[in-house]
């Protein structure tokens, strides 16, 4: 069975629409959404509607909870804070009620899923280096953990020799005896220098993971951000993938 892991849409309807088409083309049977439907982009309400339609499981991200005052935004930069205020002003009461009740993590038979980290999901820490990964491996029992939040597609592997390797691979065969923390990047605001939308597919039968990149109408997403009066930086960065 093909399971897709998508996250960090951030109100980018054009990127989400392109990824939704890709999910159909790939014949995905299950979609896990790892947080951050809203924040930064110009179509938060529309993105909530689509994610609710396509995803089997939806987890909370820090921007989802920032929009409903469930997380402290004092560490957010000025553009992110402006985006939170704008997002709050356009979401309906029903959208906010929906975001409020999302959970922080999910354990299935095959994997652990969380937006930030397995240990303290609500602290919104990042897994960006081997040390972060090493701490995180101690706080889930499955062999696979899917995370989001950094917008950087990365795979951390705890080998059978108890070493950690990190890779930026687009193809991975899951090996018995190894454990993995996998970040599939961001749909709506990639930051690894590649502006194409990013998401992952894990085939539970073949035990193979793939990272997919999907082109979308960046110019339209940028125009909507500028027209909404959101910080222009949020539009410009989309073309750079930064």
Residues binding Zn ion (CB under 5 A): 8, 36
Contact between residue 68 and residue 38 where contact means Cβ atoms under 8 Å apart: no
- Least CB distance from residue 151 to Zn ion, whole Å? 6
Give SS3 for 173.
Answer: strand
- Least CB distance from residue 240 to Zn ion, whole Å? 16
Identity of the residue, 36 or 192, whose beta carbon is nearer to Zn ion in the bound complex: 36
Identity of the residue, 6 or 158, whose beta carbon is nearer to Zn ion in the bound complex: 6
Contact between residue 18 and residue 215 where contact means Cβ atoms under 8 Å apart: yes
Identity of the residue, 36 or 132, whose beta carbon is nearer to Zn ion in the bound complex: 36
Angle between helices 218-227 and 232-240 (to 10 degrees): 170
Identity of the residue, 8 or 192, whose beta carbon is nearer to Zn ion in the bound complex: 8
- Least CB distance from residue 150 to Zn ion, whole Å? 8
Identity of the residue, 73 or 158, whose beta carbon is nearer to Zn ion in the bound complex: 73
Identity of the residue, 46 or 203, whose beta carbon is nearer to Zn ion in the bound complex: 46
Q: Residue 11 phi/psi, 5° resolution?
A: 70, 15
- Write down the H helix ranges in the chain: 13-26, 44-54, 62-66, 78-90, 93-100, 130-137, 218-227, 232-240
The Cα–Cα gap between 125 and 129 comes to: 12
- Least CB distance from residue 225 to Zn ion, whole Å? 15
- Least CB distance from residue 175 to Zn ion, whole Å? 30
- Least CB distance from residue 155 to Zn ion, whole Å? 19
* Bridge partners of residue 4, in order along the sequence: 31, 201
Q: What is the sign of the dihedral through the CA atoms of 146, 149, 154 and 159?
A: negative
């Amino acid at each position: 069975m093909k399971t897709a892991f998508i996250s960090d849409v951030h109100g980018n309807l054009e990127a989400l629409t392109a990824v939704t088409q890709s999910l159909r083309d790939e014949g995905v049977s299950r979609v896990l959404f790892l947080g951050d439907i809203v924040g930064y982009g110009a179509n938060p309400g529309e993105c909530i509607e689509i994610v609710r339609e396509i995803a089997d499981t939806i987890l909370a991200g820090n921007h989802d909870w920032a929009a409903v005052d469930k997380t402290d935004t004092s560490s957010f930069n000025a553009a992110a804070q402006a985006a939170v205020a704008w997002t709050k002003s356009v979401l309906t009461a029903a959208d906010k009620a929906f975001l409020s009740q999302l959970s922080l993590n999910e354990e299935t038979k095959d994997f652990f899923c969380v937006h930030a980290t397995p240990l303290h999901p609500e602290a919104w820490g990042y897994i960006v280096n081997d040390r972060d990964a090493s701490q995180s491996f101690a706080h889930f029992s499955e062999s696979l953990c899917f995370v989001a939040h950094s917008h950087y597609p990365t795979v951390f592997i705890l080998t059978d020799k108890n070493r950690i390797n990190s890779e930026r691979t687009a193809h991975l065969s899951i090996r018995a005896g190894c454990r993995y923390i996998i970040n599939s990047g961001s749909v709506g605001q990639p930051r690894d220098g590649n502006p194409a939308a990013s998401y992952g597919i894990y085939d539970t039968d073949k035990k193979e993971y793939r990272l997919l990149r999907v082109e979308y109408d960046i110019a339209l997403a940028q125009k909507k951000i500028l027209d909404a009066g959101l910080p222009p930086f949020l539009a410009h960065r989309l073309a750079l993938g930064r």
